[in-house]
Chain A
Amino acid sequence: MRKKRWVPWVLVGPALLIIVLTTIYPLLAALYFSFHKYKLRSPPQFAVQIGDGGISIDWSLLTLDNYALAFSDSRFINSLQVTFWFTVISVALSVIIGLGIAVIVQKGGKLHTLTKVLLIFPFAVSPALKGYSWRFMLNENYGIYDLLIDSLVIKPINFLLSILNALPIVEIPLLSESIVWLGDKFWALFMLAMSETWGWAPLIALMFVGALGSIDEQIFEAARIDGANRAQIFFRVTLPLLRPVILIITMLKTIFSLKMFDQVVTMTGGGPVRATQTINYYIHQVGFVRSLDIGYASAMSYILVVVLTICAALYVSLVLNRD
């Protein structure tokens, strides 16, 4: 159509320039910092000096110490493990619950429509606020979740167990009714993942509702005529058809989970005993709260960049190869 070749560059230029300055510049700078001893308390000595005599490079100031430190730092290794498990739990729960919600909500009906509208609500709650509200609700003394879990889950199970125990066959220990959710290493991480699931499962449900809606109704009709029941239709027809979308959503959620930060600050503060210190949280601690070690923080964040680059490459190839 129109062929003035400079026009698109004029249009794209300003936005592109800002994106480059706000993403490429920090990527390069952080990489550069990561090879230096650089603490906030003392002015850093950089290898590249630009003086009157042009550019001089002092190679002796470059170091791999920060990377070496990362792999011997048990707290960093811990943060990798925490992030891994957080990602696994939150991605699995978000995608499975999201798909479940979508399948139930997808059909017509007033209550279905109402639920579909409500699905957007967790998106409006900022992650920081999400963290606080969950922390409040999980409190062992006055938390509404604590109360609900105790009375709707733990007490009924204990009731059943006590009946079983009354028979002189087995002796099963009862569940504790006084779990301090955020004071327990496992439960704190699990609940952190649950708060993330609360925010994401509804959004993922919305994504699946869209994807389900674009499947030709005749396919389901054919399966029904062939005598398939609901479960068979779901596992043999719906799931295989959704496979590409499931993969894309899983990858996208994985990337978001790997970057987890906000709720850790407001919900658990990394505790108890570092059990919820994700990579991002630990980097923030090192760089801005405790040792103020910018060089080390940069090195660790670069390890995160490598992991995310792999995920991003997978994601892009999934999206591009979809049709």
Chain B
Amino acid sequence: MTAATKIKPSAWQRSAKALETAALLLIIAFIVLPILWLAITAIKPQEKAYTTDIIFMPTLDNFEIIFSDESVIINEGTERERGEVGRNMIPNVINSVVVSGATILIAIPLATLAAYAFSRYQFLGNGILLVWILTTQFIPAIVVAIPFFTLFRTVEVFDRPLLGTQLGLIIVNMSIVLPYAIWMIKGFVDALPGEIEEAAFVDGCNDFQILFFISLPLIRPGVLVASVFAFIMSWNEFLFALIIGREMRTMQVALMTTSGARGIMWEQMAAAGMVVMIPIFFLALFIRKNVVDGLTMGAVK
């Protein structure tokens, strides 16, 4: 090869490299833009929310409005003081935290025990049972919601119908959270070498001693990941929250209450959206490597 032909491919490679960088930047823009725009809108002053301006004085007014009972005065000192009635979404945040928290507190211990059994024991129909648990995820949520709606209208706990209560929503959430959690934790138990348990067995531990003192401590990181995944699932759940939760609005449903005289008050919706999103953001980063396994129940490796 001559010197001239040596330069040519490198020039070609350089433009391919530039093309690749451009593609990557495009992907980043595609992913980040909606999130970024929501974040920008959340700190925009009200009068700028309905524009595409990106130069403005950042403000926390919108968060103040969605978290207070009283009317919040905006544009203080101007001739016509424009006030906004507070929405007070604190109860909604509490609903979301209680429902998602209680859902994982109930689901995760049960799922852990079940996952351990599926991973470590041969019992009648365990393979079929496991696949059946997988297929429950393909039941449309609306089919689960209809009978529970009619049931919870009449079933009373502490003299209150279950419909529109946190407990009602927690019960129905089990139908989506438990199967995922079982599959996810089973993956972690499968990855644990059985020799340690064998050794404990030889040393005279019984089944439950092995489970609680040997295996559980070892799979704790996996259980934590599954808990975070389950928390995100129930936090972001919408259909049950709408139909079963009713007036007990979780944050997902409360997003719908940001409409008023101006239609949807986008700056308030964006602020509420940040409240819904930011905690999940960090949780999602934390379980980044396991999300795919969780969603596909380990089908794609």
Indicate if the CB atoms of B288 and A120 lie closer than 8 Å. Answer: yes
Find residues 187-220 in chain A having any chain B CB closer than 8 Å to their own CB. Answer: 198, 202-203, 206-207, 210-211, 214
Q: Which residue of A lies closest to B256 (CB)?
A: A266
A119 to B288, CA, bound (A): 9
Contact of A252 with B by CB under 8 A? yes
B149:A262 contact, CB within 8 angstroms:
no
Chain B contact-residue range equals: 35 or more
Q: Give the segment of A72-80, A122-130, A165-173, A232-240 that binds chain B.
A: A122-130
Residues of B within 8 A of A134 (CB): 34
Binds A, one of B2-10, B117-125, B217-225: B117-125
Give Cα A261–Cα B236 distance, bound, in whole angstroms.
Answer: 13
Interface of A is mostly: helix
Residues on A with beta carbons closer than 8 Å to the beta carbon of B31: 115, 118-119, 121-122, 198, 202
Q: Is the CB of A304 within 8 A of B143?
A: yes
A47 to chain B, nearest CB (A): 16
In the complex, which of the residues A202, A210, A265 contacts B301, with contact meaning CB atoms closer than 8 Å? A210
Q: How far is the CB of B178 from the nearest CB of chain A, in Å?
A: 5
- Count A interface residues, CB 8 Å: 95
For B32, list chain A residues within 8 Å (CB).
118, 121
Return chain A residues, CB-CB under 8 Å to B121.
Answer: 2, 7-8, 11
B27 touches A105 (CB 8 A): yes
Say how far B153's CB is from chain A's closest CB, in angstroms: 8
Interface of chain B, helix or strand or loop or mixed? helix
In this assembly, does A133 line the interface, its C-beta being within 8 Å of a C-beta of chain B?
A: yes
Partner of A5, one of B20, B123, B276: B123
Supposing A123-B291, A206-B292, A316-B135 touch, asked if A23 and B144 sit within 8 A by C-beta, the answer is: yes
Contacts of A120 in B (CB 8 A): 284-285, 288, 291
> Is B238 a contact partner of A22 (Cβ separation < 8 A)?
no
CB under 8 Å from chain A, chain B span 132-189:
133-136, 138-151, 171-172, 174-175, 178-179, 182
A268 within 8 Å of B (CB atoms): no
Do residues A11 and B117 form an inter-chain contact, with CB atoms below 8 A?
Answer: yes
In the complex, chain B residues 185-229 whose Cβ is within 8 Å of any chain A Cβ: 194, 197-198, 201, 207-208, 210-211
A298 B146 Cβ-Cβ under 8 A: yes
A112 touches B243 (CB 8 A): no
Taking a contact as CB atoms under 8 Å apart, the answer to whether A259 and B292 are in contact is no
A136 surroundings in chain B (CB, below 8 A):
37-38, 41, 264, 266, 269-270
Which of these binds chain A: B57-65, B71-79, B107-115?
A: B107-115
Report whether B38 and A133 are in contact in the complex, using a CB–CB cutoff of 8 Å.
yes
Selected interface stretch from A24-32, A57-65, A156-164: A24-32
Q: What is the chain A residue whose CB lies nearest that of B144?
A: A26
Let me know if A115 and B24 touch, CB within 8 A.
yes
Q: Which A residues are CB-close (under 8 A) to B273?
A: 129, 132-133
